[in-house]
Amino acid sequence: MAHKTITGIPVSAGVSIGKAFFLNRSRFRHLPRQTILDTAISGEVARLHLSFSEAEIELEAIRRKVPKELRENALIIDSHVMILKDPKLRALAEKNIRELCINAEWALEKAVSELREAFSALQDPYIRERMEDVRLVAERVQARLVGAVSDISSLQSRVVLMAHDLSPADTVDLELDKIMSFATATGAKTSHTGILARSLQIPAIVGVSDLEESVTDGDLVILDGFSGKILVDPDDEELEYYTDLKLQFEQYQKTTIRFCHLPGETRDGFQIKVLANIELFEEVAQVIDNGGEGVGLYRTEYSYMNRTELPTEEELYEEYRDLASILAPSRLTLRTLDLGADKLISHYGALDESNPALGLRAIRFCMRHPQMFKTQMRAILRAAVQGNVSLMFPMISGTQELRYAKDLLQVCKQELAIEGKEFNPDLPVGIMMEVPSAVMIAEFLAKEVDFFSIGTNDLIQYSLGIDRTNRHVSHLYQPLHPAIVRMIKYVVDAGHQAGIEVSVCGEMAADPFCVPILMGMQVDCISLGPQAIPGIKRIIRRANLQDCKQLLKDVLQSSTVTLTNRLVRETIFKSFPEELTFYTSLLDND
């Protein structure tokens, strides 16, 4: 039996066995405090500014390294760059140097402490959580100030990385030839670090209690990314068991790839389209390689990020046209801009909002900036001449917003016709169903669009009233909550009764335990990250629609998540035993 077993939240499946290596962030807790002479102030201020600049250059370099399939998550790195550029933190540290005659390291530490105090006084938990980003950014500057080098760079062999926490930039910057997995003392299931770990396909656990007290450098550990366990100094029997489990999982992954190009069809003939969520042209190759049958969600925001001027209609047209051409005859669904909240563009600057997630974002942002909205819609209309293109509006909460957007689309068509430019007048138009109010009027909305796409990430967040990235409440992010299952069923039925297609494009579409329920609803399409397509296709092809319908019927009678999870576990045990072996812990978070 292992010397000690500690547990955390599993965020990326897999097993690794190796020596532990602790990334020692505690070095910043003992920063030197020095009083300086008046004559040294200017030099210390210059050193502070230089460190900010170097940290910014470092982050920009990391951002460029983000794999194309992870670009959505690079937005959090963008936000860290924005914090570095924001004068508040730097000015506060500089003020401390000048007024208190202290060294730059301590001045910055004091500035962070002062900001933390100000943040903690705010009522909004979302804003308070942003302080964590400020702290991570300050740590990066501190590292430059103290001349710290990456501990990882000195490693000679692959290790199981342990850390108090890892920022998304840290995660992207991991040298995968030296890191086989990682565990952190902080973090939540749906944090960006967890999402990045899954995308990088390395086992990971976050929120591990007693991690720093229980593990030291050089300990032999087993990291179980299925259950969230870390076994410190395991015995021979445990080593044998986990070595076998690791091999089984590797074999399972190879099997999923082998059959990923076959259609998404159940054993009894029900067909469901398996599409991909992407945001970069370069990702199309991965979609095709992994058996994706088109793109169900193209996030168009990236073309607007990291630039001071808005893209022109011609730029957007060429991007969309080329994408449609290479995918044709497979479909391409272009979601109009979902800006706001944590996704901002330099052209409009930061929004001063107390709660951005409920503020000026997505369709609301576009309605505030109609000319920008029209530019994008004109480009989509023109590109739709090529291939099988659809347009989708995000975050529609009622018919008024939808009609405004459609009216503006009609204006675009009239303008293009007058200008003699070629466009597709019959461009299919759909909406994202991700706000509870839209769900409750789904039958009205269905009469005015060509398709629905259910964005389960936001739908769950808004319906259950939780921030899925907030570690204090992220455990309440429950896709199989009875309310969520019923809401999705309501939307699917409303869409089908109106004769329109309904797809699901949130993380539920990539969850092995949710897909059978979605199939029971006879959802027409699911759209998910390209890397998850092979595994989900395997489940679809081994399922029977009638079994899924029965599962859904039973689930709809459940009053609790616990009961639903039990029902799903029983079904998975009968039909997909491998998935139960590898992913059963996903059901244990009741």
Specify the pairing of strand 9-12 against strand 15-23.
unpaired
Same domain? For 123 and 20 the reply is: no
- 139, 148 contact by CB (below 8 A): no
Q: What is the pLDDT of residue 397?
A: 94
CA distances from 92 to 100, 109, 112, 263 (A): 12, 10, 9, 58
For residue 357, tell me if it sits in a domain: no
96 labelled ligand-binding: no
Q: What is the DSSP string of 420-470?
A: T----TT--EEEEE-SHHHHHTHHHHHTT-SEEEE-HHHHHHHHHT--TT-
For residue 126, tell me if it sits in a domain: yes
- 343, 301 contact by CB (below 8 A): yes
Q: What are phi and psi of 333, to 5 degrees?
A: -105, 115
Same domain? For 13 and 158 the reply is: yes
SS3 content of the chain, % helix, strand, coil (to 5): 55, 15, 30
For residue 369, tell me if it sits in a domain: no
Count of domains for the chain: 3
Same domain? For 73 and 173 the reply is: no
Q: What is the pLDDT of residue 384?
A: 97
**Structural domain that includes position 203:** 4-26+151-237
The secondary structure of residue 305, as a DSSP letter, is T
Residue-wise burial string across 1-24, b where 16 or more C-beta atoms lie within 10 A, e elsewhere: ebebebebbbbbbbbbbbebbbbe
287 token code pair: 């979609």
Same domain? For 558 and 511 the reply is: yes
Q: What is the pLDDT of residue 178?
A: 82
Task: Tell me the pLDDT tens digit for each residue of 356-381.
Answer: 667 777 888 888 889 999 999 999 99
Distance CA 151, CA 457 (A): 36
- Taking alpha carbons only, the member of 178, 160, 175, 169 closest to residue 196 is 169
Distance CA 134, CA 365 (A): 26
Distance CA 337, CA 285 (A): 23
- 505, 455 contact by CB (below 8 A): yes
457 labelled ligand-binding: yes
Q: What is the pLDDT of residue 350?
A: 55
Q: What are phi and psi of 310, to 5 degrees?
A: -70, 145
Same domain? For 222 and 113 the reply is: no
DSSP three-state, residue 103: coil
24 labelled ligand-binding: no
Same domain? For 563 and 469 the reply is: yes
- Taking alpha carbons only, the member of 140, 133, 142, 170 closest to residue 56 is 140
Q: What is the CATH number of the domain that holds 176?
A: 3.50.30.10
- How far is the first Cα of the chain from the last one, in angstroms, to the nearest whole number? 28
For residue 276, tell me if it sits in a domain: no
Please tell me whether the overall predicted TM-score, pTM, comes out greater than 0.75 for this model.
no
For residue 471, tell me if it sits in a domain: yes
CA distances from 189 to 9, 184, 206 (A): 6, 12, 7
335 labelled ligand-binding: yes
Residue type, 19: K
For residue 356, tell me if it sits in a domain: no
The secondary structure of residue 209, as a DSSP letter, is T
Q: What is the pLDDT of residue 183?
A: 92
Same domain? For 492 and 585 the reply is: yes
Q: What is the pLDDT of residue 115?
A: 81
Distance CA 503, CA 321 (A): 23
Q: What is the CATH number of the domain that holds 484?
A: 3.20.20.60
Distance CA 158, CA 163 (A): 15
For residue 528, tell me if it sits in a domain: yes
299 labelled ligand-binding: yes
Same domain? For 79 and 214 the reply is: no
Q: What is the pLDDT of residue 590?
A: 47
434 labelled ligand-binding: yes
Distance CA 378, CA 423 (A): 8
Q: What is the pLDDT of residue 543?
A: 92
Total residues belonging to the chain: 590
Catalytically active residues are 192, 505
For residue 158, tell me if it sits in a domain: yes
Q: What is the pLDDT of residue 86?
A: 77
- Point out the residues of the chain with pLDDT beneath 70: 24-32, 65-75, 119-130, 148-154, 168-169, 172-173, 175, 188-192, 195-196, 199, 305-308, 340-357, 468-471, 474, 580, 583-590
Q: What is the CATH number of the domain that holds 89?
A: 1.10.274.10
Task: Tell me the pLDDT tens digit for each residue of 274-316.
Answer: 999 987 777 788 898 889 999 999 988 877 865 668 889 999 9
